[in-house]
């Protein structure tokens, strides 16, 4: 199986069977993000511990396969991380998708599958949508449109 095919399968799996999908009623941080160019919308819910560790993360919303898969992958990647670790991961993903660097080997779990998205610049906003919501939730908890 070629690497592109493997990436495609992982994206489709997370899009069809998103992990941690659904609202989190007992959250203490949340943020919404909307991609105005395509209509994708994500709401991200976090429960941070008093020490700033992400205890629970969930998402809801609707969007294309890439935005849904990226949100699903995000929830798996940041669960248990500190807010600072999650913000550092946001920076790595942003660099990966914008092509300013390719830290694929530095990414936990299946996040490297998002690298294929950078070949389609019009889809980078879809992949970054939930990550922008994460950044907002960690910094302010306010709603955001991208």
Instruction: Say if 145 falls within a structural domain.
Output: no
Please count the structural domains in the chain.
1
Q: What is the pTM of this model?
A: 0.89
Pairwise CA distance, residues 72 & 118, whole Å:
18
- More confident position, 5 or 56: 56
Domain hosting 30: range is 3-139
Instruction: Say if 146 falls within a structural domain.
Output: no
Instruction: Say if 25 falls within a structural domain.
Output: yes
Instruction: Say if 9 falls within a structural domain.
Output: yes
Instruction: Say if 144 falls within a structural domain.
Output: no
pLDDT digits (tens, 9 = 90+) for 29-54: 999 999 998 899 999 999 999 999 99
**Which CATH number fits the domain that encloses residue 64?**
3.90.1010.10
User: Is the predicted pLDDT of residue 97 greater than 70, yes or no?
Assistant: yes
Pairwise CA distance, residues 40 & 63, whole Å:
4
């Amino acid at each position: 199986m070629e690497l592109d095919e493997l990436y495609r399968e992982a994206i489709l799996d997370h899009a069809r069977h998103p992990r941690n999908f659904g609202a989190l009623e007992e959250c203490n941080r949340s943020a919404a993000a909307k991609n105005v160019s395509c209509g994708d919308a994500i709401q991200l819910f976090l429960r941070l511990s008093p020490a700033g560790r992400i205890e629970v993360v969930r998402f809801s919303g609707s969007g294309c396969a890439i935005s849904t898969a990226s949100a699903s992958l995000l929830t798996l990647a940041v669960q248990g991380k500190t807010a600072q670790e999650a913000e550092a991961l946001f920076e790595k993903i942003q660099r990966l998708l914008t092509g300013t660097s390719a830290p694929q080997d530095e990414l936990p779990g299946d996040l490297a599958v998002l690298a294929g998205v950078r070949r389609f610049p019009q889809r980078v906003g879809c992949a970054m949508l939930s990550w922008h919501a994460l950044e907002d939730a960690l910094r302010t908890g306010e709603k955001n449109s991208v």
